[in-house]
C-alpha cells in the first residue's frame, strides 16, 4: 500500500506535515498539481496531507523528488558506490573507483541541459555528474543515450521503498550516505575501458577451439588459444580466465582478448596507455629490451658458477661469496631499471 503524502508546498518551499497548522490553515498546495491541500493531523491516523478536491496520482513522487533535490543542494555532497569493470566471460573485475565521498562545487536543479532535463546536475572539479532520483520509473534508455553523447556520467538514487514505508528520519542518510541504494546508469570511465578493451593495440584477438557440450560438462577439457605468454602453447579456458592479461573470453565468437603484447594488466596501466599510447608502448619495448639484457647477464652468471663448481680450488666459502656478489649485481639491476618480470 502506498504511503500518504507527507509534504506540501508553501510559498514555493517544501514543508513537512509536522511543521504546519491543521486543515486548510496550513496554506499548502500539492507539489504536483498545485491544488490546495488539507493538513490532517488527527490522533488516530498518520499525519498527512490530502487534496481538498480530487486526489493527485503524482503527488508523492513529485514531493519526494523535490525533497531529495533539496537535501542534495543543502548538503552538497554524496557517497558514491564503487565502480567496477567486469572482464567478460570471467569472474574477474577491475576496480576503477572505490566507494567514496564527492563534494559538489555547484548544484544545478532540474534545468534544461544539453537536450535533457536532469533531476540534478552537480559539478565536481570542473566535471559534470547527472543525478537521477527514482521513485517509480528508472531513467529511460533514450535519456541515457542523449547524456552519453555529452560524455556525462549518470548516478541513480533508488527511493522506491519510500512509496511503501516513508521514514523521514532516514531520508537524508539514504540520499547522502547510503551507497547501497545507488547505481551507475552510465559511467564514462567504464565506457572508455569498454572502448579501449577492443583496441587492437591493447588486445590481441586470439582464435580458440570451443565445444559447448564439452565445456558445460568440464570447462578445463576445452582448450583455448595459443597463449603468447606460454610460448604459443594451447591452454585451458580456466587457466586463461585466471591470467592477469585476460581482458575477455568471448565463447560465442570463439575469441580470447589478450593484453599480454601490450602488458596491460590493470586499470592503472590502461589509464597510462590512454594518456599517451605511443609513450606507453615505447616504455614497454624498452623494458622488454632490458629484460633480455638481464637474461643474458643471468646466463653469463650461470656459466661463471659452473666454471667455479668444476674448479678443484673452489671451497664452500668462496662459492657463497660468488653467489652473494651476483645476487647484489642482479638486485642493483632490478632497482635501477624498476623491472617486473612477467
209: helix, strand or coil:
coil
Q: Is the pLDDT of residue 224 over 70?
A: no
User: Per-residue DSSP letters for 266-291?
Assistant: SHHHHHHHHH-HHHHHHHHHHHHHHH
d(CA 56, CA 39): 15
pLDDT digits (tens, 9 = 90+) for 265-304: 888 888 888 888 888 878 877 877 777 777 677 767 666 6
Residue 340: pLDDT band with limits 50, 70, 90:
very low
CA proximity to 247, closest of 302, 194, 289, 297: 194
Domain ranges of the chain: 7-57, 67-195, 204-258, 276-337
User: Checking phi first, is residue 126 left (phi over 0); if not, alpha (psi -120 to 50) or beta?
Assistant: left
> Do the Cβ atoms of 122 and 273 come closer than 8 Å?
no
Bridging pattern class, strands 93-97 and 83-86 = antiparallel
**How many of the other CB atoms lie within 10 Å of CB of 295?**
11
- Residue 79 has phi, psi (to 5 degrees) of -95, 120
- pLDDT tens digits for 65-120? 999 999 999 999 999 999 999 998 888 899 999 999 999 999 988 677 667 888 89
pTM, two decimal places: 0.75
pLDDT greater than 90 at residue 130: yes
Amino acid at each position: 500500500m502506498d504511503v500518504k503524502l507527507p509534504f506540501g508546498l508553501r510559498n514555493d518551499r517544501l514543508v513537512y506535515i509536522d511543521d504546519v497548522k491543521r486543515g486548510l490553515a496550513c496554506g499548502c498546495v500539492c507539489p504536483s498539481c498545485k491544488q490546495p491541500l488539507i493538513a490532517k493531523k488527527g490522533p488516530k491516523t498518520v499525519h498527512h496531507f490530502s487534496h481538498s478536491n480530487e486526489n493527485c496520482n503524482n503527488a508523492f513522487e513529485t514531493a519526494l523528488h523535490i525533497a531529495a533535490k533539496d537535501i542534495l543542494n543543502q548538503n552538497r555532497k554524496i557517497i558514491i558506490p564503487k565502480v567496477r569493470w567486469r572482464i567478460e566471460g570471467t569472474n574477474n573485475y577491475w576496480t576503477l573507483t572505490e566507494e567514496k565521498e564527492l563534494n559538489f562545487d555547484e548544484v544545478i536543479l532540474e534545468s534544461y541541459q544539453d537536450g535533457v532535463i536532469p533531476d540534478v546536475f552537480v559539478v565536481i572539479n570542473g566535471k559534470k555528474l547527472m543525478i537521477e532520483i527514482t521513485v517509480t520509473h528508472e531513467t529511460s534508455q533514450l535519456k541515457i543515450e542523449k547524456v552519453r553523447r555529452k560524455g556525462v556520467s549518470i548516478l541513480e538514487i533508488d527511493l522506491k521503498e519510500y512509496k511503501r514505508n516513508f521514514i523521514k528520519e532516514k531520508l537524508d542518510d539514504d540520499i547522502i550516505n547510503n551507497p547501497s541504494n545507488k547505481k551507475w546508469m552510465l559511467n564514462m570511465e567504464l565506457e572508455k575501458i569498454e572502448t579501449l578493451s577492443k583496441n587492437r593495440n591493447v588486445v590481441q584477438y586470439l582464435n580458440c577451439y570451443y565445444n559447448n557440450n564439452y565445456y558445460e560438462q568440464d570447462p578445463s577439457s576445452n582448450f583455448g588459444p595459443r597463449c603468447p605468454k606460454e610460448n604459443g602453447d594451447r591452454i585451458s579456458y580456466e587457466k586463461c580466465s585466471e591470467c592477469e592479461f585476460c581482458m575477455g573470453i568471448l565463447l560465442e565468437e570463439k575469441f580470447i582478448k589478450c593484453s599480454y603484447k601490450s602488458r596491460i594488466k590493470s586499470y592503472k596501466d590502461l589509464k597510462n596507455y590512454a594518456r599517451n599510447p605511443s609513450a606507453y608502448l615505447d616504455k614497454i619495448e624498452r623494458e622488454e629490451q632490458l629484460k633480455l639484457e638481464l637474461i643474458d647477464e643471468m646466463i653469463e652468471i650461470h656459466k661463471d658458477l659452473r666454471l667455479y663448481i668444476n674448479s678443484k680450488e673452489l671451497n664452500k666459502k668462496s662459492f657463497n661469496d660468488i653467489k652473494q656478489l651476483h645476487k647484489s649485481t642482479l638486485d642493483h639491476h632490478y632497482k635501477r631499471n624498476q623491472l617486473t618480470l612477467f
